C-alpha cells in the first residue's frame, strides 16, 4: 500500500452467496464490528437481488455497495441483464468487471472493455479483474497475459477517467483454492500492472491507481499481502462472507506504510 498516493480499498465479492434476508443480517452484524475512524475504503459487491437490502442497511456507513457484473448497453432487449444506470439508481458505487468466473462463462476482453467504459460513463467505480491460469504461470507467460488483459480492458479510456478505475489481480489458481500467491508473487504482478498503466496513461496516473490482490486472501494472510508497496487492497471472496474475518482484513489495512 502507499496511502500517500492512492486509496486503499478492501472489497468483498460475495459471488452467488446469500439471500436478501441473509444480506440484512450480515450487514447488521458487520456494522457492529466495523472499526471506528476513517481507515480505508470498504466495498461489498453482492448479487443483484441483494443490492437494495445492502444499500438500505449500509446507508449511514462508509461501506460502498457494488454489483458483480453489468451490461454495457443502456437499455433494451437483453433478457436477464442489468444496466449501469439501474445499478446507480439502486445505490451502487462499484461494479466488478471481468472476473475470471465470468470470463470462464464466455465473457471476452472486448466485453470487459465495453463494460468498463459504460461503468465509468455512469459514474460507477469499475473493479477490473485480470489473472492468469496455472498453465499460463507454469508456461511463464504471466507477464504477457496480464499485460494483454490490462491493455484490452483499458483501451480507449480517457486520461481523466483512468483514476476512477480499480484493477484487481486475481491469479485463477489462487481463487477459492486456499492456495494464496505469496506476497512476492502478488507484488511482482501488481507492480507489472502499474508499469502497464504507466506506459498507457503516464506516471502520475499509474502512481494514483489502486491495484488489489484477490485469491484466497483472508484474515490470516492479508497483513503480509497488504504490506507490499503495489498492493493497495484486496478483493475478497470467501472471507468476505464472514463479518469477523472481513473486519480483520480491514484492520490489517491500517498498518503503517512507506
Ligand atoms: P476467494 O477469496 O474465495 O479465493 O475468491 C477470490 C475472488 O475471486 C474474489 O473476486
| Span 79-103, pLDDT tens digits | 999 999 999 999 999 999 999 999 9
pLDDT at 240: 98
pLDDT at 12: 98
pLDDT > 70 in the chain, percent: 100
Q: Between 255 and 136, name the one with better pLDDT.
A: 136
Beta bridge partners of 42: 10, 63
pLDDT at 258: 67
What are the residue ranges spanned by the domains of the chain? 9-252
Does the pLDDT value for residue 166 go beyond 70? yes
For the residues 113-131, what does the mean pLDDT come to?
98
Cell numbers 475504503 label which residue?
41
Centre of ligand 1 from the C-alpha of residue 143, in Å:
21
Ligand 1, atom nearest to 129 Cα: 10
Helix, strand, coil percentages (3-state) for the chain, rounded to 5, are 45, 15, 40
To 10 degrees, the CA torsion angle through 236, 230, 222, 248?
Answer: -80
Q: Is 170 a catalytic residue?
A: yes
Stated pTM of the model: 0.97
Q: Between 69 and 3, name the one with better pLDDT.
A: 69
Which position among 68, 170, 187, 251 bears the catalytic label? 170
Q: Is 99 a catalytic residue?
A: yes
Q: Select 9-252's CATH number: 3.20.20.70, 3.30.210.10, 3.40.50.620, 3.30.2310.20.
A: 3.20.20.70
* Closest C-alpha residue for ligand 1 atom 5: 237
Please tell me the number of Cα atoms within 13 Å of 144 on its side-chain side. 6
For the residues 113-136, what does the mean pLDDT come to?
98
Ligand 1 interacting residues, C-beta cut-off 6 A: 13, 99, 170, 175-176, 214-217, 235-239
SS3 of 169-234: ECCHHHCCCCCCCCHHHHHHHHHHHHHHHHHHHCHHHHHHCEEEEECCCCCCCHHHHHCCCCCCEE
Average pLDDT of the chain is 96
Does the pLDDT value for residue 212 go beyond 70? yes
Centre of ligand 1 from the C-alpha of residue 32, in Å:
24
Does the pLDDT value for residue 257 go beyond 90? no
Does the pLDDT value for residue 36 go beyond 90? no
H helices present in 4-97, as ranges: 20-33, 51-58, 84-89
Amino acid at each position: 500500500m502507499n496511502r500517500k498516493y492512492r486509496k486503499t480499498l478492501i472489497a468483498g465479492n460475495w459471488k452467488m452467496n446469500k439471500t436478501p434476508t441473509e444480506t440484512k443480517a450480515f450487514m447488521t452484524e458487520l456494522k457492529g464490528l466495523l472499526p471506528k475512524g476513517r481507515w480505508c475504503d470498504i466495498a461489498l459487491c453482492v448479487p443483484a437481488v441483494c443490492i437494495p437490502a445492502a444499500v438500505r442497511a449500509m446507508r449511514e456507513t462508509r461501506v460502498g455497495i457494488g454489483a458483480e457484473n453489468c451490461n454495457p448497453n443502456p437499455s433494451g432487449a437483453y433478457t436477464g441483464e442489468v444496466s449501469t444506470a439501474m445499478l446507480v439508481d439502486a445505490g451502487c458505487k462499484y461494479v466488478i468487471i471481468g472476473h475470471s468466473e465470468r470470463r470462464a462463462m464466455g465473457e471476452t476482453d472486448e466485453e470487459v472493455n465495453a463494460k468498463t467504459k459504460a461503468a465509468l460513463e455512469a459514474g460507477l467505480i469499475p473493479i477490473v479483474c485480470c489473472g492468469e491460469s496455472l498453465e499460463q504461470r507454469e508456461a511463464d507467460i504471466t507477464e504477457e497475459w496480464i499485460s494483454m488483459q490490462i491493455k484490452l480492458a483499458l483501451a480507449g479510456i480517457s486520461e481523466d477517467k483512468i483514476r476512477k478505475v480499480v484493477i484487481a489481480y486475481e491469479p485463477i489458481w489462487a481463487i477459492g483454492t486456499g492456495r494464496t500467491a505469496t506476497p512476492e508473487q502478488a507484488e511482482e504482478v501488481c507492480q507489472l500492472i502499474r508499469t502497464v498503466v504507466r506506459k498507457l496513461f503516464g506516471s502520475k496516473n499509474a502512481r494514483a491507481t489502486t491495484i488489489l490482490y484477490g485469491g484466497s486472501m483472508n484474515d490470516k494472510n492479508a497483513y503480509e499481502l497488504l504490506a507490499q508497496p503495489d498492493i493497495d487492497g484486496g478483493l475478497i471472496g470467501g472471507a468476505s462472507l464472514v463479518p469477523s474475518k472481513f473486519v480483520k482484513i480491514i484492520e490489517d489495512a491500517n498498518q503503517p506504510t512507506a
